[in-house]
Amino acid sequence: MKFMLMIYANQETWDGLSAEEMGKGIAEQDAFNRTFFETGELISAYGLADAATARTVRVRAGAAAVTDGPYLETKEYLASFCLLDCQDETRALEIAARMPFAAFNAVEVWPVMHEAVPQL
């Protein structure tokens, strides 16, 4: 069963970390990733750039309009996400609780309802 883990943060959180704390957190996240890649439960993991670099695309009347920033104005934003393939929701929640940044950020666990795969 597949689950998406979404880690939220805000700029205040990142700005409040020293370079040493950030380095330690990244090293811990790398170790987490290695552990669950090795078990086969972690399919992919991505850290996103700061929300200030996000763009929103809307198509109206056939014309694309690109605006700066995320779609919603909010202090918190999606900082990273990963995709799991594990036995059940209980296991997904156990893995989410082991994420290093879960100690001070929210981690949402969403079941994946549909997966598009290329037709060969």
pLDDT at 73 over 80: no
Please state the separation of Cα 81 from the chain's center in Å.
Answer: 2
> What does the alpha-carbon distance between residue 111 and residue 120 come to, in Å, rounded to a whole number?
26
Q: Which CATH number describes the domain made up of 2-111? A: 3.30.70.1060
Q: pTM of the predicted model, to two decimals?
A: 0.83
> What does the alpha-carbon distance between residue 52 and residue 36 come to, in Å, rounded to a whole number?
30
14-51 residue pLDDT tens? 788 899 998 998 899 999 999 999 999 999 999 888 88
Instruction: Return the domain boundaries, the chain.
Output: 2-111
pLDDT at 74 over 70: no
